[in-house]
Amino acid sequence: MLNRLNSLQVFQVLRFGSPFIVSIVLVRLLNQQSIGLFESLTLIGTSFTFFWVSGVINTFIPYYHSVEEEKRPVLIFNVYGLLVCLSLFCFLVLFALKPVFFNHSRLSIPAAKAFQGHLYFYYLVYNLFNAPSFFMEYLLMVKNRPKAVVGYGVFSFFIQILLITVPLFLGVPLSIAVLILAVGSFLKFSWMTGYVLKISKAVFSFELVKIFLAKAVPAILTLVVGGSMPYIDSFIVLHFFDKPTFAVYQYGAREMPLVLLMANALSNVFSGDIAKSHSDQNVPESLEKLKQGSKDLMHRLFPITIILIIFSRFLFSHVYSPAYIGSSVIFNTFMLLTISRLIFPQTVLSGMLKNKQMLLFGAYEWIINLILDFLFLYWFGLIGIAYATVISYYVERAIQVNYLNRIGYAPKSYIPVKVWGLYSLAVIGVYVIGVIMN
């Protein structure tokens, strides 16, 4: 039986499946230089969009449940307009910064030809329409349409895979394949716009936007200072290493997607529930539901994490190619993030709209990560970047848990401590054994 939580989790899995399949096709059809080029484009696009898209959407969910029923259609229209304006601004900034990001004199001949073919511009067009389209699944979620969430995910991501892989398979240049992908993103954006106009009230409310932004800006800044670190890490690797090495890092520097996607889905759903229960003075009940939901997730995802750590070398050498076996070491280290991902103090803080506190905690994590990046890069090499990421995330979660404990919400009220502790020890144990054996 589909509900808001599992439908969004299915959607998130489908979202991962699209770039994963595309990455496999790229390995089969393109050389490492071209893959590194495409990954560089993806890095630039997501670096400039993830923080405001996620910040606005993560604020929208609890805020939507906290406002009066009659204000919600107006809220939807104004949040949609905000996302569109931010996406257009981002497009203009990235277009102006093209000489900064890509100096042709530093690129190989194939790369330079690719950009002369307008690959950079085509990707920006794709990013322009794709970024605000992430709003669609959350609109379906708050409207309690779980079947529509899954149906939309299956259709949109299947089409996205075809739009990029089929042209490449037929021998079309990468730039033209990205142009076709951009056309697809425009159609998806148009679909979302039609739905927004159907369920919203097309009235601009400066007062509502002002109040919403007061909540959203700290959440956006939190992602800038905290969530930006994976992108900063990638830029550091891009600076110190060549593009083939960068491609190896990028393919390994990915958390187990089921963990990240399903955990984010659970967090988004329960932040809305906590916001509603906070208004009704019934927080303990919603925290117990969050605890049970995270416990169920642990039983499903921790065993998969352990299996992936054990078989990562085999998977990278066979799913991709032997050239990417070095990615498995980085991937295994990122698997340790599962330990911090499956506890949800940030969900409680978000549901209570304590975005200023989350901004402060994110700043701590950002500073720690940046310092450790350069120290560990010097001491351990490329793998040091992964170590720095894991440690800084652990520290941030510890700070969040401690803060909630100080304001009266003990860890055991929303974390299944024993289950989490046993699984965490198992993951660390398997990881250490793998390091010793390899």
Answer whether residue 165 is part of any domain: yes
- Domain boundary, last residue among 140, 175, 204: 204
Whether residue 86 is found in the same domain as residue 192? yes
Residues 360 and 434 in one domain: yes
Which 3 state secondary structure label does DSSP give 253? coil
- Report the pLDDT value the prediction gives residue 83, as an integer from 0 to 100: 94
pLDDT of the residue at 232: 76
Q: Is residue 215 part of a domain?
A: no
Claim to verify: residue 2 and residue 122 sit in the same structural domain? yes
pLDDT of residue 115: 46
Query: Which of 204, 239, 258 corresponds to the end of one domain?
Result: 204
Q: Is residue 295 part of a domain?
A: yes
Q: Give pairs for 279-282: CB < 8 Å, separation 24+.
A: 279/66
* Residue 55 domain flag: yes
Nearest Cα neighbor of 119 from 173, 68, 56 is 173
- pTM (2 decimals)? 0.67
Tell whether 44 and 7 lie within a shared domain: yes
**Averaged pLDDT in 10-residue chunks for the chain of 438 residues:** 69 69 72 71 80 85 80 92 93 85 49 57 91 89 81 81 81 83 92 92 87 84 70 76 70 68 80 71 80 91 90 73 71 89 90 81 86 87 86 92 90 92 94 79
Q: What one-letter code names the amino acid at 300?
A: R
Within this chain, do residues 64 and 170 fall inside the same structural domain, yes or no? Answer: yes
> Same domain for 69 and 104?
yes
Closest of 116, 365, 431, 29 to residue 223, by C-alpha: 365
**Which run of H or E residues covers position 264?**
helix 257-279
Pair (273, 410) in one structural domain: yes
As for how many domains the chain has, the answer is 2
Q: Do 280 and 152 reside in the same domain of the chain? A: no
Domain co-membership, 122 together with 228: no
**Does residue 409 sit within a domain?**
yes
Same domain assignment for residues 302 and 378: yes
Interior angle at CA 305, CA 299 and CA 307, nearest 5? 105
Say yes or no: 48 and 113 in one domain: yes
Residue 314 within a domain:
yes
Is residue 46 within 8 Å of 186, Cβ to Cβ? no
Residue 36 included in any domain? yes
Is 212 a domain residue? no
Domain boundary among 204, 238, 269: 204
Q: Which domain holds residue 39?
A: 1-204
Q: What is the pLDDT of residue 112?
A: 46
Residues 6+ apart with CB under 8 A from 201: 73, 74, 76, 77
Give every CB contact of residue 255 below 8 A, 6+ residues apart in sequence: 334, 335, 337, 338, 341
* 252 and 352 together in one domain: yes
